[in-house]
Amino acid sequence: MAELITEEQPRIKFSTRYVGPLGPLGQSAGPDATAPAGSDGGACDGGGGDDDGDGSPLARLAHLARLMHRMEELGAAPILNDGQVAGNCAVSPGLLAPVGGRQGSGGEAAASDGSGDGEAAAPGAEGRDGLALVSMSGKPPGHVLDPAADFVLVTEFDRSAWTACYRSRSPAVRPSSDSPLLVAALAHGQEYGWTELPRVVLHGHALAEGEGLSYAAQLGLPISPHATLFSTPEDLAELEALFRSHPYPQHRCYIRRGHGFFLLGRSLAEAERLFEQLVVPWLEGGRRGEVGHVVQPEP
């Protein structure tokens, strides 16, 4: 479904309220960090896993930025008519906890066991500092997200008022237009009957219509029955219906008809693996009719 940005239908269709700057996320990930590589709330009061980088918050966000850049290079983040790209990503604030631990819903540290995917977040945990750290709205084409400047912390999202409260480096750096969906995936799993929460979300505009939708159906991916306008309550309702009928982690990639895929992972490395396994074959060959045997997603 073509997504047109107009004065009447802006990219972000919910109200936003800036509640202050986002504090330092950690030590610098180094000069090559961003180099390209192959809750509902009331009124705003202002108030690790697989090899996820070196463990510092900025290194983990740099990993996510590289994955977003690869998605754009492969064509899953098209340029919309406002000149900015589509597609976005988010992580749970708990993923950015210090090495050797994470933050639970009450702010307590939980030690990592050092295994491949790490400990899963407890259902309903929102992280000590907010609901989700999301990519900024309106990324210029070719721009690699700066882990120190281009991510936004959604601190509250009021569904009844359709309003997000956020922190970022400046009021002009606003959260992704898909923040309602990103927050739902990272912070509201208990409402959908999930036994654990994902910690990473990757969203791209592929597998949502035509032959791409047929390819997703062959993979057995959950597909919403209706296409809706993005960044709207109806858009969120369609995705939440999939979340309830196809719970995570039994399912980790969801298709919003006419919108795109929402891929959920326990860690950055798992999200990257699922992207390569489920989406990349279509992006690299499916559009040219070159996808042969369809590989079913691993459990």
Is the residue at 263 inside a domain? yes
d(CA 264, CA 227): 21
Q: Which range of residues forms the domain containing residue 254?
A: 15-288
Mean residue pLDDT of the chain comes to 78
Is the residue at 103 inside a domain? yes
Q: Which structure tokens are listed for 278?
A: 């489920």
pLDDT digit string, tens, across residues 155-214: 999 999 999 999 999 999 999 989 999 999 999 999 999 999 999 999 998 998 899 999
Q: Which residues pair with 167 in a beta bridge?
A: 153
Is the residue at 5 inside a domain? no
Percent of the chain with pLDDT over 70: 70
User: What residue type is 116 in one-letter code?
Assistant: G
Is the residue at 4 inside a domain? no
Does 27 score more than 80 pLDDT? no
pLDDT digit string, tens, across residues 30-83: 333 333 333 444 445 443 345 454 578 999 999 999 999 999 999 887 676 666
Nearest to 102 by CA among 249, 251, 266, 243: 266
pLDDT recorded at residue 82: 60
| CATH code, 155 | 3.40.225.10
Is the residue at 296 inside a domain? no
Give me the number of domains the chain comprises: 1
**In the chain, what are the helix, strand and coil shares in percent, each to the nearest 5?**
25, 20, 55
Is the residue at 132 inside a domain? yes
d(CA 125, CA 159): 18
pLDDT digit string, tens, across residues 219-236: 999 999 988 877 789 989
Is the residue at 208 inside a domain? yes
Does 142 score more than 80 pLDDT? yes
Run of H or E residues at 61:
helix 57-73
Is the residue at 249 inside a domain? yes
